[in-house]
Structure 1
Amino acid sequence: MTRALTIALDGMGGDHGPATVIGGADIALIRHPSIRFVIFGNEAVVGPVLAKYPRVASASDFVHTDVAVAMDDKPSQALRRGRKVSSMWRAIDAVKEGRAQAAVSAGNTGALMAMAKVILKTMPNVERPALAAIWPTARGESVALDLGATVGADEHQLVQFAAMGEAFARVLFNLKQPTIGLLNIGEEEVKGTENVKGAAQILRSSHLASQFHGFVEGDDIAKGTVDVVVTDGYTGNIALKTAEGTARLVVDYLRQAMASSLLSRIGYVFARSAFKVLSSKLDPRASNGALFLGLNGLVVKSHGGTDDVGFASAIDVAVEVASADLVAKIEADLDKLKQLGGAGDNEKTKTPESEAVLS
């Protein structure tokens, strides 16, 4: 950490509420001792949990809110009920007011996206925001987007996603020129939808041309063929949930195999350290925390079902991007695209609610 940062936390979000949020904040403070929090939530619910974590309490300001957005609320319902009074709204609004440099919530994704768009607004050259996250690969890590913020995307929106993802990868991985790939059903130029092929054509003539790898397939995500994988929210969310389910299945299979016989249990004793490394690499909590890109502010979405370890990872993402002034870097890249005619027209899709599908 090079400067003090304040992170706004939605204390009521997620399947487990304050226990996960405050516990995650405590872990994050060990990693980032200089950060502060402003926590929003119902005092009767959050207060007793906060009292168990004196380190978090001393590094936080707490703001009482009466309303909490339910995980199954529709975005329109959340906007009506929670507008300006819910813990989720107040956490995002803290970013707009400059009271915090980023907000983190494990709450309802559709509601979070809708509120973030209403409060922070999209950048001038962005039609639709994208949800971007870190994806573990054979080479290390990649950035994948969109993972659920926008269902369907035209060629200009996919190009915008590419520019935003490229800036995100530069910040996270300290790369000068991250490589970019468009997720497709094949590497051949004739394959794919017109929108995907159109996006490829624009990227080849843009300032990102030297970084554009071309089309990548589903197995290229795990291989780490490129640093940034670009797709629409519908396809991206399916790929994400498939990968998470497969990782859990592999871990379950290993546990069953190691407990299947006496010899297997003995073998596990000798290979325990190797299995711990594998389990750590397959643990989705380590890469928890997706960022809404394209907004005039930083909002990180934690998985709703994660625990305190996973929520701490989401705070890590918030600290990283806030420290690196990611919003300014994305704006600079989108300005270059606009000058080349590849950014599209953001006026046609400025609606208050998103088409978020991730839960």
Structure 2
Amino acid sequence: MSPPVRIALDAMGGDRGAAVVIPGAAIALERRPEIRFLIYGDEPSIRPLLAQHEALTKACELRHAEVAVRMDDKPSQALRAGRYKSSMWLAIDAVKKGEADVAVSAGNTGALMAMATFCLKTLAQVERPAIAAIWPTLRGESIVLDVGATIGADARHLVDLAVMGAALAKAIFDIERPTVGLLNIGVEEVKGLDAVKEASRILREADLPQFAYHGFVEGGDIGRGIVDVVVTEGFAGNIALKTAEGTATQIAGYLKSAMSRTLMARIGYLFAKGAFDALRRKMDPRRSNGGIFLGLQGSVIKSHGGTDALGFASAVELAYDMARHDLIDQIRSTLEKLQLEPAVDA
């Protein structure tokens, strides 16, 4: 029997804190009974919520935390005020100490990244961490990174992202040799920024066995699922992610309006209800909730702050999948094979 997966939860993070985290953890436990939780937060407010979930109470250890990082705290402010005593810090620190395999928080993204980087440190071969998102596509799902950890990227950082994204795709999608593409303004080799073109050259010449480099992809290729991993820098990635989320909401609004406009439209909706329900499930952001922090010496998942219990459960299950694979070791060994020269500060 395999050992349990130990997940540390920041119970105070997100728009609704423990009111979402606790029932979300209970749902995840029903689906993944091997999980054991370390839950950090305000004990008096969490105990009554835990009492409603007998199985979760037996599968967790609740540890009191004095401070809750607010959603509007600046990262530097949260790091100063919440280091060593906030629920967010303590969940991350449990990973560092080996008490947990992965930490999950729905809290302030900037604060979580600052604390995770300060506490866990980056891998020796990685200059900067990244946030990866799972993206629904016509073929299934792809991984897109970076979606907002840092802005700007040189060629080396883009190569790092490719390696990390491929390792993640292999672990989560169970693909032996994922395909990787660099997001660009065109697929022609002469197009794009110098850093993107240089990263493309490095990846093509390296021809690593861990993944297959596809070449350049355009924005429209992301949703088509042309590749398993789409690599870009954080500014473009974050805009792409939020544009996709906004477009999904816009389409849902159009459909709802169109289906209720006339009697015939409402009758047509009844006949096509199964198809619309399938579309709604496919576009449900809760199914792919969870931004994965990559490049650190420990695993951290960022749940959407406004999600509900089902969405938080998805983030916990993503954490479970990550913990079941040697993701960090895969990233480290692949980067070592590249043998890139250390970056020189300008």
TM-score, normalised relative to structure 1? 0.93
Kept after mapping to 1: 8 A contact 2:207/2:213: no
Deviations 1:26-58 (A, max 9, x none): 110111012111100011322222222222222
Separation (CA, whole Å) in 2 of partners of 1:46 and 1:199: 48
Shift of 1:18: 0.7
Aligned residues of 1:10 and 1:40 also touching (Cα < 8 A): yes
How many Å apart are 1:255 and its aligned residue?
A: 1.6
CA distance in 1, matches of 2:54, 2:170: 36
Asked if the contact 1:207/1:336 (under 8 Å) is kept, the reply is no
**Is the 8 Å Cα contact of residues 3 and 323 (structure 1) preserved in structure 2?**
no
Q: Corresponding residue for 1:242? A: 243
Distance 1:258 1:276 in 2: 13
CA contact (8 A) 2:145 2:234 kept: yes
CA contact (8 A) 2:73 2:111 kept: yes
Q: In structure 2, what residue type is equivalent to 1:81? A: A
* CA distance, structure 2, for counterparts of residue 103 and residue 170 of structure 1: 21
Equivalent position of 2:132 in the other structure? 132
Partner of 1:262: 263
In the alignment, the residues of structure 2 paired with residue 44 and residue 3 of structure 1 have an alpha-carbon distance, to the nearest angstrom, of 31
One-letter code of the match for 1:230?
A: V
| Residue aligning to 1:186 | 186
Alignment of 1:275 onto 2:276 = yes
Q: Is the 8 A contact 2:186 2:217 kept in 1?
A: yes
Deviation at 1:261, TM superposition (A): 2.0
Structure 1 segments unaligned to the other structure (5+ residues): 350-359
Residues 348 and 2 (structure 1), Cα distance of their counterparts in 2 relative to 1, 3 Å cut: farther
Residues 59/348 of structure 1: CA separation in 2 closer, same or farther (3 Å cut): farther
Cα deviation for residue 344 of structure 1 reads 4.0
Question: 1:110, 1:28 → 2: CA distance?
Answer: 26
Contact 2:145–2:230, Cα closer than 8 Å, also in 1: yes
Residue 356 of structure 1: aligned partner: none
C-alpha distance in 2 between matches for 1:348 and 1:285: 41
Please provide the CA RMSD for this pair: 1.5
- Work out the CA distance in 2 between the residues paired with 1:59 and 1:217: 45
1:20 aligns with 2:14: no
Q: Which residue of 1 aligns with 2:331?
A: 330
Q: What letter is aligned with 1:314?
A: A
- 1:33 aligns with 33
Q: Structure 1: which amino acid aligns with 2:108? A: N
Moved more, 130-139 or 40-49: 40-49
Q: Secondary structure at the match of 2:301?
A: strand
Match of 1:289 in 2: 290
Partner of 1:253: 254
* Preserved CA contact (<8 Å) 1:152 1:233: yes
| 1:308 equivalent in alignment to 2:309 | yes
Is the contact made by 2:41 and 2:65 (CA closer than 8 Å) also made in structure 1?
yes
**Number of residues paired by the alignment?**
345
User: Would you say 1:145 and 2:134 are equivalent positions?
Assistant: no
Instruction: Find the aligned partners of 1:317 and 1:48 in 2 and give their Cα distance.
Output: 27
> How far apart are 1:168 and its partner, in Å?
0.5
SS at the partner of 1:260?
Answer: coil
> Separation in 1 of the partners of 2:23 and 2:266?
33
Amino acid at match of 2:277: K
Q: Secondary structure at the match of 1:205?
A: helix
Distance in 1 (alpha carbons) for counterparts of 2:337 and 2:183 = 23
Give the partner amino acid of 1:212: Y
User: After the TM superposition, which residues 107-186 of structure 1 pair with which residues of structure 2 at under 5 Å, given as runs?
Assistant: 107-186=107-186
Question: What is the alpha-carbon distance in structure 1 between the residues aligned to residue 325 and residue 30 of structure 2?
Answer: 20
- Following the alignment from structure 1 to structure 2, what is the Cα–Cα distance between the partners of residues 241 and 229? 16
1:166 Cα deviation from its structure 2 partner: 0.6
One-letter amino acid of the counterpart of residue 71, structure 2: M
Aligned to 1:223: 224
SS of the residue corresponding to residue 333 of structure 1 reads helix
- Taking structure 1 as reference, are residues 2 and 144 closer, same or farther at Cα in structure 2, changes over 3 Å only? farther
Q: Helix, strand or coil: the match of 1:200?
A: helix
- Alpha-carbon distance in 1 for matches of 2:281, 2:2: 28
Which 4+ residue blocks in structure 1 deviate beyond 4 angstroms?
none
Deviations 1:305-328 (A, max 9, x none): 111111111111100010012111
Measure the CA separation in 2 of the matches of 1:169 and 1:2.
Answer: 23
Inter-partner Cα distance in structure 1 for 2:292 and 2:345: 23
Distance 2:61 2:44 in 1: 16
- SS, match of residue 122 in structure 2: coil
Displacement of 1:2 in angstroms is 4.2
* Distance in 2 (alpha carbons) for counterparts of 1:89 and 1:99: 14
Question: TM-score, with normalisation over the residues of structure 2?
Answer: 0.96
Q: Percent identity?
A: 58
* Offset at residue 243 of structure 1 (A): 0.4
AA in 1 matched with 2:98: G
Which string of whole-angstrom CA distances, capped at 9 and with x for unpartnered residues, describes residues 138-174 of structure 1?
A: 1111111001111111110000000000100111111
